[in-house]
Structure 1
Amino acid sequence: MTTDLAALADQILSAAKSAGADAADAVAVDGTHVSIDTRGGSLEEAQRSEGVEIGLRVLIGQKQASVSASDTSADVIAEMAARAVAMAREAPDDPWIGLASPDQLATDTDTTKLDLFDPSDEPDPAALEEDARRAEAAALSVEGVTRTIGGSAGYGRRRIHLAATNGFTAGYNRSSRSLSCVAISGEGTKMERDYEWDNRIYQSDLRDAEEIGRIAGERAVARSGARRPKTGAYPVIYDERVASSLVGHLVGAINGAAIARGASFLRNALGQTILPEGLSIIENPHRVRTGSSRLFDAEGLPTAKRALIDKGVLTGWVLDLATARKLGLESTANAGRSPGAPPSPGTSNLALTQGDKSREELMKDMGTGLLVTSMIGSTINPNTGDYSRGASGFWVENGELAYPVNEITIAGNLLEMFRNMTPANDAREHLSTVVPSLLVEGLTLAGD
């Protein structure tokens, strides 16, 4: 029996008012997730989870508290509301919290136009297992692959409904289908690993299992014989698979929560040029068939396309209602939330301006340097932008791949890195974060 999430959210709000809340908002989530993992052609693990989770935030004056539960019985909802109110009464005052006013709320809530849900039947577990097996087999068929860590296939669907005592009530459905494979080349201390994956809203858009496995195997073999390059200052190309991490660092630095705390190396950069003049970062929450798309945020405000960076210039912060009020600004409709926490600012779909050259053409422009295909760890100073990360990939000489490298550290300063970025033209358009390979000048590599 399908749970009526709108009625459930309304029931939660009624319980909160009866318990003494001045205002409240609620979220109800009904989800199913299936994952199948294989190793060596045999089933290793099969998991399925499903159920309803509910969350409640209550406000009493300028105090708030959030609670969540996975039991939707009337008694539990009443007890949850009573506990939330009791917690709020003991909470410290926060002058910036509060629901949106009714005139701020989204009026267009028909999320079907975003095409976020595949109406086809849930795939049979046997079909998921077969996909994982086929990906593994394709990886093992690549000469030089010695084993696989495994293949993995998954399916998920979620229904989400938001409601608040200011009159907002709306929801949406999402689905996902995923497939991945991890392959290994070599033996003992000479082992190297790499992977390939795909994740789509629609089953019909998912790439073939043989392609996923083959690419994982070829990448693992290409890493055979990795060594460390000489320490020095070199240009670095971030492969498309990892380039989005740089945009992630930038977006984290303009998040309203960091700005309000004064803990960001971009806190004084509003209106300044921080990227090369031809580059923009566009947030577009309304992209069709894209996993992070949404017509309204977690506080019920209408979302809109906007430029976070416009031709190199930082135009604004990423704000929810509370951080906007603290900064004396208007919300940018970037609130997100989980059932057990209050709203906080975050982005949806992002795209960095693409260039007119391929990754290979950027390598020729670079001449000698590093192509990074994998990263581990992260040391970022949020106040200065000083940057250090472990990396592996390929050494480039005379514009061509020379040999694989690993166990190196890349260091620099994000402010300088942002100003010296050159994008390629290879970004995958279906991803939520669309970022091409990036050439960054003047980084320090710690190797031999």
Structure 2
Amino acid sequence: MDAIKENFQKIVSEAQRDGAKVEMLISGGESLKLGFQQKKLEKFESTQSQMAGLRVILGANQGYAYTENLSLEALLRTYNDALNNAKTVQSEDAVEVPLVKPQVIPSLNLFNPEEIPMDKKMEVARSLEECCLNADARIQSVPYCGFNESISFRRVLNSEGLDQEFKQNYYTGYAYPLAKEGESSKMDGEGFFARSFKDIDAKEVAEEGVRKSISRLGAQKLKTGNYAVVIDREQFTTILTMISGYLSAKEVHENKSLLKGKLGQKIASEKFQLIDDALNVRGTSVRPFDSEGAPSQTTVLFENGVLKNYLTNLEYAKKMNLPHTAHAARSPASAMDIGPTNMIVAKGDKTLPELLSKYDKVVHLMEFSGALHSGFKESTGDFSMPAEGFLYENGKCMGPVDQFVMSGNVLDLLRDIDELGNEYNKEGNSLIAPDVLVKSLSFAGA
């Protein structure tokens, strides 16, 4: 028996004497971050971390505490803190939460650590900047670029005998070059996500970042008006972020969701299909079990525009008499919540040129340049966000446009989806979407 298991068994014995149930979530990992600026190594960070969070269930009450020290003494102190919190913190509508019993979980083998020499990793980090600088004379600098290597793990144990662990490793990197021509300056970029070092192509990533930045030089102001808009596959993830909170049963229960009471109703365009799939290895939120140890599954959220399910954990499935979807989400230092994993919009059958030529004038939205928290009002669904992109007339690109604000309501936007593209955004995101054509949105520009 490993030390963690042995220590936890002693905590379980304490909990049994106290008439309580206990669950422990441990997470941590290792990371390496490398970055070059002006052809010199600017960042070299190597870190390791681990943390344990205990949840004590005493009747209908729950208490939490956490520690970065996994010794028996520290875990026992943390258990007692969580127990005292359970005795102190009470909720009017609390229900006794069951713990997950041991059961078979989906098999996901994503832990394949490689022995890659440091100089090879440094070369990737160096190339991300160097290739950008060498690609075009209009590239002035690369303000944001870097290479990351990560190993992460999560383990859940509880007093029902559950003990499950998931590890994974991966590489990420990015290059965002700044292009300048005359008075016009623009920055865009590209990134990568790879589970094998051999799949990294730093030169390709850098050149695509350069292409994107240069393509936006010389942007003109967009005239104010209503336009059909193709929200780029890399940017529709912002729309998914807007609606993700509405799908939480906890948010519904607390009257914070605009989708409350709308199960079974047609909310979006019939062409809009959305699932949450924690087992899709293309997404970065892949996992075989949730933060309570419940086996992951695929959950249909929208089918032909109809809202089919909310996301639940054990508490809210019981409290609201809903199907349990295994979406418990927390860190060791936080209380139990509900969160999505890989949210995936079903592709359509249209190419990007077909989407851009469907209406006389179409804006291809390439970037939301403002922060979501400042441009989106969750209580109403209204958004008003600075954006940039390209204007198309009769399918022909008229050039880049900027200095405009796109406004609307996120639920209206879902209803006005006209067509969807046949390609997904690049890997490296938990939100997976194609290009999306929306019939009409308001643009405030020149």
Pairwise same-fold verdict (TM > 0.5): yes
Residue range with higher mean Cα deviation, 287-296 or 159-168: 287-296
Q: Which aligned segments of 4 or more residues in structure 1 are displaced greater than 6 angstroms?
A: none
Match for residue 406 of structure 2 among 394, 404, 410: 410
2:110 matched to which residue of 1? 116
Amino acid at match of 1:368: K
Does residue 424 of the first structure (1) align with residue 421 of the second (2)?
yes
Shift of 1:352: 1.2
Does residue 326 of the first structure (1) align with residue 319 of the second (2)?
yes
| Partners of 1:106 and 1:302 within 8 A in 2 | no
1:170-190 per-residue CA deviation (whole Å, 9 max, x = no partner) reads 111111211111100117963
C-alpha separation in 2, matches of 1:175 and 1:412: 40
2:54 matched to which residue of 1? 56
1:131-178 per-residue CA deviation (whole Å, 9 max, x = no partner) reads 011111221122221211142001111222101112222111111211
User: Structure 2 unaligned runs (5+)?
Assistant: none
Does residue 45 of the first structure (1) align with residue 43 of the second (2)?
yes
Does residue 396 of the first structure (1) align with residue 389 of the second (2)?
no
1:86 matched to which residue of 2? 84
C-alpha separation in 2, matches of 1:13 and 1:195: 50
1:367 matched to which residue of 2? 360
| Partners of 1:28 and 1:55 within 8 A in 2 | yes
Shift of 1:388: 1.8
2:434 matched to which residue of 1? 436
| Partners of 1:201 and 1:289 within 8 A in 2 | no
SS state at 1:71 partner: coil
User: Structure 1 unaligned runs (5+)?
Assistant: none
Shift of 1:438: 0.7
Amino acid at match of 2:266: T
C-alpha separation in 2, matches of 1:289 and 1:280: 18
SS state at 1:214 partner: helix
Residue range with higher mean Cα deviation, 374-383 or 403-412: 374-383
C-alpha separation in 2, matches of 1:114 and 1:205: 20
Shift of 1:369: 2.7
C-alpha separation in 2, matches of 1:159 and 1:73: 18
1:66 matched to which residue of 2? 64
SS state at 2:82 partner: helix
C-alpha separation in 2, matches of 1:8 and 1:377: 44
Amino acid at match of 2:112: D
Shift in CA distance, 179/203, structure 1 to aligned 2, threshold 3 Å: same
| Partners of 2:97 and 2:315 within 8 A in 1 | no
Shift in CA distance, 343/269, structure 1 to aligned 2, threshold 3 Å: same
Match for residue 202 of structure 1 among 196, 206, 213: 196
Shift in CA distance, 77/258, structure 1 to aligned 2, threshold 3 Å: same
Match for residue 252 of structure 1 among 232, 241, 245: 245
| Partners of 1:285 and 1:293 within 8 A in 2 | yes
Shift of 1:401: 2.0
| Partners of 1:21 and 1:59 within 8 A in 2 | no
1:155 matched to which residue of 2? 149
1:275 matched to which residue of 2? 268
SS state at 1:257 partner: helix
Match for residue 262 of structure 1 among 237, 255, 262: 255
C-alpha separation in 1, matches of 2:16 and 2:46: 36
| Partners of 1:100 and 1:166 within 8 A in 2 | no
Shift of 1:22: 0.9
Residue range with higher mean Cα deviation, 286-295 or 250-259: 286-295
CA RMSD of aligned residues (A): 2.3
SS state at 2:210 partner: helix
Shift of 1:27: 1.1
